[in-house]
Each structure stands twice: as structure tokens, then as C-alpha cells.
Structure 1
């Protein structure tokens, strides 16, 4: 058996590119552009779940590719490739969970008294049965995670109160820009974050209450209020309010969270 025959046989059995994962997540972007609809001047998005449920083949194929990635391959990727992969996986499996149970008025209807929808193990990742909580709290936010609070504006919960689902995948080469834009977009949405001129309080999403520890220390800030300082003009059109926010001299109030499905009907 010649050396070249052995090499050729190896390439047939173990092709070099057979497991190469598309780091641009093209299939996911194609689906998002078909079924995500921007609303409120681009500050929020809705999803056409009804249409998507009738055409789930491409989403299924993308999720199969995600589930097929071996952990050893994932570990060889750059930090941004890993984080983009996990964000996209979380969002795509969230959509899949809704489609499996649609129609529903809220993702919380999918859970039960004993298990929330985020704890339901309904997909495979790195060779194990996983839940959405496994991705968010163990892989992204866990002890050996990414220390990246901006993920709270990228991970979506299929609800009106959550940040917008982008009409494109997160990709490593653009990840920092995409995360910054996600923060700015969410904080510019007056329905979920705003300065109340009458009360002098900064009214913000409950996300900042639930995950307050994640935001403290980001880019040198020492308190939760410091996180909002660079976004004063996004949060308020009032000059006095902008000054108070920019100086960190503002009282915070957490707004009720809207768990209604972000359904485009």
C-alpha cells in the first residue's frame, strides 16, 4: 500500500473539513432575516412565530449543526467565536422551544410548577442533554465563563420585556460592536428604560435588578449606577436628567417585566 493511497484513504474516512463549523452562522442569519420584524423605530423586535412554525426545516438543520460540534473543537476556538456560538445557540434553541409549543401567550406557560422553561433539558450540546439555563448560567456566566455583562442584551427570552432578537447572527469578528449596539438599543427604549422627570428617578428594566452583580465593575464602574453613566443621553432627553445619570447621582427604580410573547401577529 503506497503512502499516497494511505493519505487518500484517510481523507475519505476523516475529511479535513467535514466538521468545520460555519463561524458566520449563515443558516441562523437567513432564518432571522425571514422571521424577525423590527418595531418601535428599531428599538425592539418581534418574531413571526406562526410563519416560522410552518417552515422549520432550516432551523432544524442549523440546530443539528450546533449540537454536532464536539467540545474539543469548541475549546480550540477564540474567545469571541465561543461566545458568539453560545449566544446564537441560546437564542436559536429559545425559538425552537417556543415553536415546539406554539401557540402560547408567554414562554412561561411552557414551564410547570416544578420546572421552568429555562431548566427543561430538550437539546444536546457537547454530548450532553442541556437546558437554556445550562448555556447561560453554567457556560456563559459560570465560574469559568466570560465575565461579560453585555450578554444580557443579546440573550433573548422570547418576551416583550427582553432585549431585541437581532435579525442577524452574532459573529466573532463583529461581536464587540454587536454587543455595544445591543446595549445602546435596549437603553434607548423608553418603554423599558427611561429617566422620569417628575420623580427624578431612573426607571430601568428588572434585568438590572436580577443581574446587578454582573454589571458592577464593568469598565471600571464601582456601582450599578456607574453602568448607566456613559448612556445618559440614551436614557433621557432632559438635560438635568442626563447630568444626574452621568454623575451617578440618581435613584434607581426597577420596572415590571413584560412576559408576553414577542409575537408578530
Structure 2
């Protein structure tokens, strides 16, 4: 599988862009992060993420839409009693990153690309970009950083086990923008959640876990950010890792409780209203037959193909009885076989194609209905 080295993001400016002023190196408190408030007079500058877009198409695999059926516990690998690979009942939902196939040069290119995105903020005034352009920048930077750090630490069972300088990955301030140190959580909560009021932004941020919103197979940009966020919302909400019925009570992902201070002040009613916005027929029925909203669904296992552990036994992957690939771990072959069986069921049910939401206007500033506020 070929991978091209990442290059610096090309800037497609419509006017001459003056270098943004350098900021003194500092630890980021809330006061420092106030500098990232979007400007009220945006310009037309754009950032090109074509290289990251190409990478996502090469290393991210979709497990397809949820059937709202928990996957059964898989059999142990042949010749051993040890259980390798994924055992989660959510393992056939969301997307997976092919961390076990990445060589050191590719992993190093993630770090280079993350630093290039950081440096972009020294060339372009991020705060003066359009709101959608800024949102795409923050989502891409967050997700690049997460992929980079998980790739560096792999094999690892759960991304939240990763530490940088003794600090958990999500809290570690290893990202620098305009001289200000940021953690992935800072980007989500202190920049995006603070300045964008539509909770659909939750679904842009990948956490490296099976239980998180999916990593999209496209880079975000100003033109597709609304479409990709709606896609991510529908995928997550209409899945078991997003919402379930437990004895007549609605269970939802614990990520909603995390986002509650920003988007769901009246938690139960606000979350239920939000889910209704993107719910399909099955989820509508679930909402109608349940009460409340308990944020208890979680799955911390890594969203990769191999379960975060190198398996010593291998097999050839086949499709329709024909060998179609090189030798891969048995547990991965079993997961991909489950995925193929699921897709056959989707076809049998006539659920092919992509669901498109039309005539949806995302909240925005006056005169810019396509902007996400």
C-alpha cells in the first residue's frame, strides 16, 4: 500500500497574506486561549488539506452503518487460548485506522504534518478565516495530532493509556499554535466548543477509541465541514455506541455528558432533542419508547484493526473463497470477515448508498447561512 510523504499545506490565498505576529511562548490558560476567538470580519483565505485527505483515504477503513445489533464475542485465535483482536460488541461500528501497517517513515510524516499545520498559523491569521475554514483547521489539527501520537505509541490497547511527559494524551499540551501550548481537549472545549454553539461540532473530533465519533475518510475543509459533521452525527447517533434502550431508559454515550456544559444545560431534554435532529427510523422508535438520558455508554478500546496488540499467528484473507491479500493476523482476518458478512446483510436489507440530509441549514451568522456557528 503506497504512502506518499506529507508536504506542507498549500495556502490558496485570495490576497497577499502577511505573516501573523509571533506570540511569546507560554502555557495556555483560559485567558491566553481567548485570542482564538473568531474575528467578526472574516477574510477569504483558504488552507488546502489535500495531503491529509489522501492519507485518510489510505489508512482509514469504514465498518459501515450500524445494524443496531451487538457483535457476539469472537472465538479465540487458532492454536491458542488467548483472545487477540477486538472483542467489543461495538467492533463493527465506526471506522478503523490501519496503525499496524504504518512504517516509521509514515509515522514520522504525521509529526511533520502536525508541525506544518501549527506553522500555518504563523502564516495565516487563523482567527480571521471564515468560521467554516477555522473549524476545519481545528478539527484537522486535533485529529492529525491524535493519529500521530497513537501511531507513535502503537501497539496500545486504549489510547487513554498513552502519556506524554507523564500527562495523559488528551490533557498533554504538545500542540503549539501562535506560541500557545494546547492539548487535544483544549482544542475541543476551550476553542471550538466555546465559540461554536451547534453541538454537531462534537462529531468532528476523533478520540482514537471505538466508542468515539468516527474518523472520516476525508480531510475537513470549509466546503465539506457541514456535510461531514452531519454524516458523523447520523453515524454516531444511529449506532449502539451513541444510543441504546436499557429497560425503558435511554442510554447515550458518555461523550454527551462531557459536552453538556457547552451544549446540553438541561441534559435529558437537550440531548433527546439533539438526537432527534439526526435520528433514523430505528432511533426515532428507540426515543419514543424510552425516557430520560443516562450518559453511560463507553468503549475505550483502540479504533484500529488489530486491537492494539501484535498477534503471533497469521492467515491469508479471502473473499468468496479466493485469497485476495497477504498474510495478516488471524483476529484481523476474522474481523474483516465479520465486516464482509455485515455488508452482505446491509445489501440484503436494501440499505445501500449514502443517506443525504437535504434542505438543512446549519445555524450561522446573518447573511452566511452555510456557516456553522
Q: Measured at CA, do residues 179 and 140 of structure 1 come closer, stay the same or move farther in structure 2, by a change above 3 Å?
A: same
Q: CA deviation digits over 1:151-179, x for unaligned, max 9?
A: 22110110111011001111111211211
Of residues 237, 240, 253, the one that matches 2:294 is 253
Q: CA deviation digits over 1:113-132, x for unaligned, max 9?
A: 96321121223222233221
The unaligned stretches of length 5 or more in structure 2 are 1-15, 20-43, 67-92, 307-373
SS of the aligned residue for 1:189 comes to: coil
Of residues 241, 244, 251, the one that matches 1:194 is 244
* Equivalent-residue separation in structure 2 for 1:168 and 1:58 (angstroms): 18
Q: Measured at CA, do residues 104 and 251 of structure 1 come closer, stay the same or move farther in structure 2, by a change above 3 Å?
A: same
SS of the aligned residue for 2:251 comes to: strand
- Which residue does the alignment assign to 2:303? 262
- Which residue does the alignment assign to 1:99? 151
Quick check: 2:250–2:287 contact (8 Å CA) kept in 1? no
Deviation at 1:68, TM superposition (A): 0.7
Deviation at 1:200, TM superposition (A): 2.1
Q: Measured at CA, do residues 29 and 87 of structure 1 come closer, stay the same or move farther in structure 2, by a change above 3 Å?
A: same
Of residues 115, 137, 142, the one that matches 1:64 is 115
Quick check: 1:193–1:235 contact (8 Å CA) kept in 2? no
* Equivalent-residue separation in structure 2 for 1:112 and 1:68 (angstroms): 21
Of residues 179, 190, 207, the one that matches 1:138 is 190
Of residues 273, 279, 282, the one that matches 1:226 is 273
SS of the aligned residue for 1:259 comes to: coil
Q: Measured at CA, do residues 234 and 25 of structure 1 come closer, stay the same or move farther in structure 2, by a change above 3 Å?
A: farther
Quick check: 1:119–1:132 contact (8 Å CA) kept in 2? yes
The unaligned stretches of length 5 or more in structure 1 are 1-15
Q: Measured at CA, do residues 136 and 172 of structure 1 come closer, stay the same or move farther in structure 2, by a change above 3 Å?
A: same
SS of the aligned residue for 1:75 comes to: helix
- Which residue does the alignment assign to 1:148? 198
Normalising by structure 1, what TM-score? Answer: 0.78
Query: Number of aligned pairs?
Result: 239
Q: CA deviation digits over 1:3-30, x for unaligned, max 9?
A: xxxxxxxxxxxxx579898624111111
The reply on whether 1:182 has 2:232 as its aligned counterpart is yes
The reply on whether 1:205 has 2:253 as its aligned counterpart is yes
Quick check: 1:215–1:227 contact (8 Å CA) kept in 2? no
Of residues 171, 177, 187, the one that matches 1:119 is 171
* Equivalent-residue separation in structure 2 for 1:215 and 1:104 (angstroms): 32
Question: Over aligned residue pairs, what C-alpha RMSD do you find?
Answer: 3.1
Quick check: 1:190–1:235 contact (8 Å CA) kept in 2? no
Normalising by structure 2, what TM-score? Answer: 0.57
* Equivalent-residue separation in structure 2 for 1:91 and 1:112 (angstroms): 16
Whichever structure has more helix as a proportion of its residues is 1
Stretch deviating more after TM superposition (24-33 or 35-44): 35-44
* Equivalent-residue separation in structure 2 for 1:58 and 1:112 (angstroms): 19
Of residues 209, 216, 223, the one that matches 1:159 is 209
* Equivalent-residue separation in structure 2 for 1:201 and 1:131 (angstroms): 35
Q: CA deviation digits over 1:246-265, x for unaligned, max 9?
A: xxxx2223333111111112
The reply on whether 1:35 has 2:59 as its aligned counterpart is yes
* Equivalent-residue separation in structure 1 for 2:45 and 2:112 (angstroms): 13
Deviation at 1:81, TM superposition (A): 0.3
Of residues 118, 125, 131, the one that matches 1:79 is 131
Stretch deviating more after TM superposition (101-110 or 51-60): 51-60
Q: CA deviation digits over 1:100-122, x for unaligned, max 9?
A: 22221111111389632112122
SS of the aligned residue for 1:171 comes to: coil
Stretch deviating more after TM superposition (227-236 or 127-136): 227-236
